[in-house]
Amino acid sequence: MPSLKGQSYNSQSGEFSIAAVAFPVAIPGVYDYNIPSNLRDTVQPGTPVLVQVKNRTTWGVVVDLKKKSPFPNLKQVLEVKTGQWADSNQTLMTLYKWMASYYQCDLGRVFRPIVNKSYIKTNAKMVTVYSAADKPLEGLRDNHVQFLKKLQECGCALSKKEIELRFSISYSTIRLLQKKGFVASEKIPILRQADELGLALQDKKVVLTDEQQFAVDKIARSLTSPSKPFLIHGITGSGKTHIYVELTRKTIQLGKCVIILVPEISLTPQTIQCFKVAIGDTISVIHSNMSDGERRDSLHEIVSGKKRVVIGVRSAIVIPMENIGLIIVDEEHDPSYKQSDMDPRYNARDVAVMRGHIQKAVVVLGSATPSTESYSNALNGKYELLRLVKRFAGARLPKVAIVDMAQEKQENNWTPFSRYLTERITEILALKQQIILLLNRRGFSAVLMCKSCSYTYTCPNCSVNLKYHRADTLLKCHLCGYTAPAPDVCPRCSCENVKYIGTGIQKAQELLEELFPQARIIRMDQDTTRGKGAHISILDTFATGKADILIGTQMVAKGLNFPRVTLVGVLQADTGLHFPDFRASERTFQLLTQVAGRAGRSSDPGEVIIQTYFPQEVCVKTAQNHDFETFFKVEIENRKALHYPPFGKLARVVFEGTGEAQVKNLMIKAANNLKREPVQGVTILGPSPAVLFKIDNVYRFSMLLKAVSAARLAEALGVIRSSVNNPSGGVRCVIDVDPVNML
């Protein structure tokens, strides 16, 4: 297996005949291939290449070029993807190698988001277009002559569908005129675009406030000589997007490119509209709801240099793009930026900071509720802090009321809606204004239990309860996807006293429809947004006033701007508060503050009603007052006492497999090896069964490493990796650096 140590080379000289190739699939390591002489001026590190592995062909990525290889009888590179897949000075390869090293994974896995077999093999979509031939219009019927003259006046070739719509000419007529030589045809590629790029634009003149203009001027001065990242801490509704748009415009004027990250697909429509109005049709989109064809075409537009602005979710940060001048990470605190389910387990926010450092680009992080780590970096001078303390266009922060649901139960209200929230919904509906309700729990009920024998319905594959979904009368596991029909009788005691306990979002919607039959209610959660374009349709319905109440999970809490929303209700503020996770309080504060920010974003005053069983919790009380500073002071002291980030580095090591004893033994072996070879400044917590002990019939044991520095942490993880290299019996070792999921 060849070394990855770089060597100086001129990619245009053709003197390097060997390509070291890594693979984004389950092929560990790096392998040498001969470069045919006709491709030597094309191949360079970062270039996707088609090669043969055993008896099949697959796409990999060149990570190094060499003059010779110690391995004989090398196979050849078969095909090369051309375009700007890697920059000439190899800063992208530096970034990719850093990701593999920092996040403890094979280099090939870093390329998974951009060299995906499902769309790297997808071809361009071709369409036949027709134009008028350069031939005298003689011997034709009058209507055919008129059609051909109009086709000539168009000045461009048109597809069959376009001709039929414009001129009411049938396809048989086109074919007839083509046979006679009056119409010429050719096949051309057609661009498949994400649905968001086709939305109607609303051109609104925006005049920046003094606060916004100060931030723009401050950051713009760094566009030609970046030094350190900026953190914009702006209250909800302060107009951070307007700052992003103006900075993007200035970056494009300098001839540079821009990457803009958003945490959720649901945010892309409104974000794209803002940018497209300001900078025109130079935007490409990257997210998981796109088809393979759309993603292929979007990637092609980027690597060919045709599009200079990318708006996307976390995977957009590794997109090959030359001459980056600005990277924006909106809602930088959001855990969605962390990839936790597969290698590389990277955090796009942190990769953005590193990419900006390596490629000399300005990095702008923005949030109303910055992560504890980012805000600490800003206070310590690693980032430059900019504050926005006023809402845009004269809007005011909403008032926030706290309702103690324990008191509601004492007064015999067992519904998920407090009496005060019900009253306010009635009043807001009468005013023809809009309402957003948050319940961060999918399904109809949390638990299905027999009241006679206390039997609960758990997933046979996972160590969690099944959730009841009323829409299709099924019990579902939200981890492995297991489903079963909802029972009428208890399987243990045959009693019919089966009760649905707890309120999921489907149940809340059903009760809402009973309470307010005149209201137009729509739901936004993972179940209603599975279909392509579903999230766009839901948001458009609400934005155009065709719905009065939008009830949703955390999707509705982030970055959305609906001026007619004057009431926001949080049905269960405690859903994630008592998870075994040191970030539980921070996430609750962020979620409450973010969803509160959806109210009162115009001249109409807004109100937020938070329903909770723990009204005295710091995260609830500070969210009521929109008081980030007080929450941060409490949170940072807790982190310091426990040596959690930003006062140390963390890695979570999970061993998983189908044999419980094997998994446990290997986990203990790895921990003992690290204890025998201790790394100074590293503390081991565990090993122990993971909180989610079994998922899809896979048993899981975990331990947490706390280190004083990234270097010490990497050293300790190196000991673990070397001690369990290629574990047997189907056991897998998962290393998650800077984890956000502790379950």
Residue 486 lies in a domain: no
Residue 372 lies in a domain: yes
Residues in a beta bridge with 401: 609
Q: Residue 267's pLDDT is what? A: 67
CA distances from 732 to 460, 653, 717 (A): 21, 10, 15
Question: Three-class SS of residue 30?
Answer: strand
Q: What's the domain count of the chain?
A: 5
Question: Three-class SS of residue 263?
Answer: coil
383 shares a domain with 410: no
179 shares a domain with 69: no
Give me the amino acid identity at 506: Q
Domain final residue, candidates 596, 619, 638? 638
Contact partners, residue 604, CB within 8 Å, separation at least 6: 433, 563, 564, 566
Nearest-angstrom CA–CA distance, 215 and 228: 15
551 shares a domain with 430: yes
Copy the structure tokens of residue 248: 């993007």
Quick one: how far is CA 555 from the chain centroid?
Answer: 12
Helix axes 710-723, 660-676, angle to 10 degrees: 130
> For residue 28, is the peptide bond before it cis, meaning its omega torsion is within 30 degrees of 0?
no
Quick one: how far is CA 144 from the chain centroid?
Answer: 53
Query: Burial, 133: exposed, middle or buried (Cβ in 10 Å; 0-12, 13-18, 19+)?
Result: middle
93 shares a domain with 206: no
Count of other CB atoms within 10 angstroms of residue 186: 11
431 shares a domain with 536: yes
The rounded average pLDDT for each run of 10 residues, N- to C-terminus, in the chain (743 residues) is 40 74 88 93 90 91 92 93 82 94 93 78 82 85 87 83 84 89 86 65 76 96 95 92 94 95 78 80 81 82 88 92 94 94 94 97 97 97 96 84 94 93 96 93 68 82 83 82 85 80 84 95 88 82 93 82 90 84 92 87 87 94 94 96 94 94 91 89 92 92 95 93 75 93 85
**Could you tell me how many residues make up the chain?**
743
CA distances from 299 to 58, 125, 296, 365, 427 (A): 19, 14, 5, 24, 49
Copy the structure tokens of residue 55: 């008896």
Task: Give the residue from 631, 611, 629 showing the smallest Cα distance to 401.
Answer: 611
Question: Three-class SS of residue 163?
Answer: helix
Residues 577, 579, 582, 586, Cα dihedral to 10°: -30
Task: Give the residue from 617, 63, 116 showing the smallest Cα distance to 319.
Answer: 116
Domain final residue, candidates 374, 393, 412? 393
Residues in a beta bridge with 64: 20
Does an H or E element contain 625, and which? none
Residue 466 lies in a domain: no
Nearest-angstrom CA–CA distance, 235 and 464: 37
236 shares a domain with 343: yes
Residue 632 lies in a domain: yes
CB 655 within 8 A of CB 696: no
Give me the amino acid identity at 726: N
161 shares a domain with 103: no
Range of the domain at 150: 125-190
602 shares a domain with 726: no
Nearest-angstrom CA–CA distance, 284 and 272: 9
Q: Residue 702's pLDDT is what? A: 94
Q: Which CATH number belongs to the domain containing residue 415 in this structure? A: 3.40.50.300
Residue 546 lies in a domain: yes
Copy the structure tokens of residue 315: 């995977």
Count of other CB atoms within 10 angstroms of residue 15: 11
**Core vs surface per residue 210-237: b (16+ CB within 10 A) or e:** ebbeebbeebbebbeebebbbbbbbbbb
Q: Which CATH number belongs to the domain containing residue 660 in this structure? A: 3.30.70.600
Nearest-angstrom CA–CA distance, 46 and 60: 10
Question: Three-class SS of residue 534?
Answer: helix
Nearest-angstrom CA–CA distance, 52 and 59: 9
Nearest-angstrom CA–CA distance, 46 and 375: 34
Residue 241 lies in a domain: yes
386 shares a domain with 265: yes
Q: Determine if residue 545 is left, alpha or beta; phi over 0 gives left, psi from -120 to 50 gives alpha, anything else beta.
A: left
CA distances from 146 to 132, 141, 157, 178, 328 (A): 12, 9, 17, 16, 53
Residue 460 lies in a domain: no
Q: Which CATH number belongs to the domain containing residue 108 in this structure? A: 3.40.1440.60
Nearest-angstrom CA–CA distance, 126 and 189: 4
Nearest-angstrom CA–CA distance, 585 and 456: 29
436 shares a domain with 510: yes
CB 703 within 8 A of CB 685: yes
Domain final residue, candidates 72, 87, 112? 112
**φ and ψ at 250, to 5 degrees?**
-70, -35
Nearest-angstrom CA–CA distance, 359 and 362: 9
Residue 120 lies in a domain: no
Residues in a beta bridge with 386: 232
Nearest-angstrom CA–CA distance, 343 and 459: 27
CB 598 within 8 A of CB 368: no
Question: Three-class SS of residue 664?
Answer: helix
Nearest-angstrom CA–CA distance, 295 and 302: 11
Tally: H helices and E strands in the chain: 20, 30
CB 347 within 8 A of CB 335: no
Residues in a beta bridge with 567: 435, 607
Tokens 């299709």 belong to: 472
239 shares a domain with 137: no
Q: Determine if residue 280 is left, alpha or beta; phi over 0 gives left, psi from -120 to 50 gives alpha, anything else beta.
A: left
719 shares a domain with 576: no
Q: What share of the chain is helix, strand, coil (3-state, %, to 5)?
A: 35, 25, 45
Copy the structure tokens of residue 5: 């140590």
